[in-house]
Structure 1
Amino acid sequence: MRVLVTGWASFVHGEATAGDVLSMSRVGAALTAAGIPHDMALSPVYRADALHLSDAHSERYSHLVFVCGPAHGHQVRSLHERYASCRRIAVGVSILDPGDAAVTGFHRVLARDGLSTPRPDIAVAASTTTVPVVGAVFAPGQREYGAARRHRSVHEALLRWLADLDCARLPLDTRLASDDWRQCRTPDQLASVFARLDAVVTTRLHGLVMGLRAGVPVLAVDPIAGGGKVTAQAAALNWPALVSAEDAVEAGAFDHWWRWCLSPAGRHRARRRDFPAADALTEELLDELRAGLPV
């Protein structure tokens, strides 16, 4: 016996949702625990390094298991043709049409809905590992800096690096809006998001400020050659995790400060909220205004 575990995440033109992949992983874990040899096929679009259906030859398998999602469509029907010699089982699927050849092609269907009383989706029992939740806050073009701008090269380097990190990336924008549900409408709403992050990666001054005022470590990257307002603000806030525009394009430029931000030392430093003379400008403004008051 050898089982091939498949699902919508196996198809080149399918879709790898978190629920699909979790369900497939849970089935794989159950097979491992039961001592049943198996392989899992994933789309090359989703995982280039995985086993793909094109390389999972039918003669290697006694069973094909299709996990999660709707049991319908030509891609599911193609599995019945390709793996005609295997016993085919669908598990945790939704049934839209019991007479569909995509459904009737299975020897056994263990549905989550559509055939009988609804049953819990397999993904609810799957194990996961918690990873850091990181807010990514990028500055706009900032034309006012003229030829010193390095936004494109800095952001390209950051995006390549972020894509390889094992973390949950949350794109954030400090711009508030009342006409777009995707944007926060008030500073309190955005501050509440920052307070729930594990770290912030930003090229924007207020990305640095919002992170540190929430006690969250920030990897700040200045997109201005020679240093702009991000560098100045990091100095004002006594925050060390800063990468210059010149260094950002170098290999491994962000790794040291990323590790430090997630370390106990980095987290402790952020929670200290060590901001010398944090309200100095407001006090200076009040002094200026008071100086003009009549005696």
Structure 2
Amino acid sequence: MRVLLTGWAGFTRGEASAGDVLSLHAVSDTLTEAGIAHVTAWSPGFLPGEPSLDDCPPEDFTHLVFACGPLHGDQVRELHERYAGCARIAVGVSVPDPADPAATGFDAVFPRDDGDARSADLSLAGRVGSPPVVAVVLAPDQPEYGDARRHSAVHDTLTEWLRSVDCGRIPLDTRLATDDWRHCATPDQFVAVLSRVDVVVSTRLHGLVLGLKAGIPVLAVDPIAGGGKVSAQGAVLDWPVLPADSTPDDLTARLDWCCCAEARARAAGEHPFPGPLGELVGELKGLS
């Protein structure tokens, strides 16, 4: 017996949702524990370099297992045509129309829901790790810095690096809005969000300041050549800020530090009170 395992995350025109991928992992683990040889086929757009359906000729397999998602559409029906010589089984799937050829083409269906039967989703059986959760706060262009701006290059390096880091990424914007649910409406809401993550990655001054206000370590990068207001604020707050020409290795080393106990304790400590507030009051009283 040789099993080909796939699902919607294996289709070129499909999508790899977290639930679908975790469901495929759960089925793969189950087959491995049972001693059943199998190959998981992934979309090359999601996991290039891993086996895809094009890499899996029908004659190499005795069984096809399709996990998670709806039994609907041309791509599912095409599986029946390509793997007609295999015994075909669907597991943990939704069956919106039991008479659809996408569903009737399977020799056995163990549904998640089909109008009558209901079962817990396969993803609940999948094993998950605990990667850090990272809030990403990027600065706008900031034309006031003229030719010293390095925002485009810094953000390209930063976002390409983030793509390779095993972390949960949450893009955030310090801009508040009362007419757009995608933005926080108050500073309290924004700081509350920051307080729930493990690390803040930011090229923006208030990403640094509010991250520390929330007691969260900040991987701060100054997008200005020679240093701008992010570096200046880092000096005031005694918090390290990387320069604009930092490399991916620099970013990795700083993230590792931000995840350590020393950085967490330092971020959670007391931070300086803004001196200009006292100076403002003194100035106003001196003018009265």
- TM-score over 0.5 for the alignment? yes
Q: Are 2:242 and 1:243 aligned?
A: yes
How far residue 125 of structure 1 moved from its aligned partner, in angstroms, is: 2.2
1:284 to 279, 283, 287: 279
Q: Are 2:50 and 1:55 aligned?
A: no
The normalised TM-score by structure 1 is 0.95
Give the aligned partner of residue 119 of structure 2.
Answer: 119
How far residue 33 of structure 1 moved from its aligned partner, in angstroms, is: 1.2
Give the aligned partner of residue 93 of structure 1.
Answer: 93
Q: Sequence identity, in percent?
A: 54
Distance in 1, matches of 2:260 and 2:184, equals: 29
- Quick one: structure 1 residues 193 and 251, their matched pair in 2 at CA, closer, same or farther if it must change by over 3 Å? closer
- Quick one: structure 1 residues 198 and 39, their matched pair in 2 at CA, closer, same or farther if it must change by over 3 Å? same
How far residue 243 of structure 1 moved from its aligned partner, in angstroms, is: 1.1
Give the aligned partner of residue 128 of structure 1.
Answer: 128
Distance in 2, matches of 1:68 and 1:115, equals: 16
Q: Could you report, residue by residue, the CA deviation over 1:215-256 in whole angstroms, capped at 9, with x for unpaired residues?
A: 11001111111110000000000002x1111x22x3523122
Distance in 2, matches of 1:60 and 1:167, equals: 36
Distance in 2, matches of 1:167 and 1:53, equals: 28
Q: Could you report, residue by residue, the CA deviation over 1:123-167 in whole angstroms, capped at 9, with x for unpaired residues?
A: 122211111110100000101111111111111110111110000
Number of residue equivalences: 288
Distance in 2, matches of 1:54 and 1:213, equals: 51
Q: Are 2:214 and 1:214 aligned?
A: yes
CA contact (8 A) 2:161 2:248 kept: no
Give the aligned partner of residue 269 of structure 2.
Answer: 272
1:156 aligns to what SS in structure 2? Answer: helix
Q: Are 2:161 and 1:173 aligned?
A: no
Give the aligned partner of residue 263 of structure 1.
Answer: 260
Instruction: Tell me the C-alpha RMSD between the 2 structures.
Output: 1.1
Task: Identify which range, 261-270 or 7-16, moves more after superposition.
Answer: 261-270
1:253 aligns to what SS in structure 2? Answer: helix
What one-letter code is carried by the residue in structure 1 that aligns with 2:49? D
2:251 to 250, 254, 273: 254
Distance in 1, matches of 2:154 and 2:178, equals: 30
1:290 aligns to what SS in structure 2? Answer: helix
Give the aligned partner of residue 44 of structure 1.
Answer: 44
Give the aligned partner of residue 15 of structure 1.
Answer: 15
Instruction: List aligned pairs for 1:68-87, cutoff 5 A.
Output: 68-87=68-87
Distance in 2, matches of 1:251 and 1:91, equals: 42
Distance in 2, matches of 1:115 and 1:24, equals: 23
How far residue 44 of structure 1 moved from its aligned partner, in angstroms, is: 0.4
Distance in 1, matches of 2:191 and 2:92, equals: 39
What one-letter code is carried by the residue in structure 1 that aligns with 2:287? G
How far residue 115 of structure 1 moved from its aligned partner, in angstroms, is: 4.4
Give the aligned partner of residue 2 of structure 2.
Answer: 2
2:47 aligns to what SS in structure 1? Answer: coil
How far residue 24 of structure 1 moved from its aligned partner, in angstroms, is: 0.7
CA contact (8 A) 2:111 2:117 kept: no
Distance in 1, matches of 2:131 and 2:252, equals: 17
What one-letter code is carried by the residue in structure 1 that aligns with 2:32? T
Structure 2: gaps (5+ residues): none
Q: Could you report, residue by residue, the CA deviation over 1:5-42 in whole angstroms, capped at 9, with x for unpaired residues?
A: 11000001111111110111101111111111111110
The normalised TM-score by structure 2 is 0.97
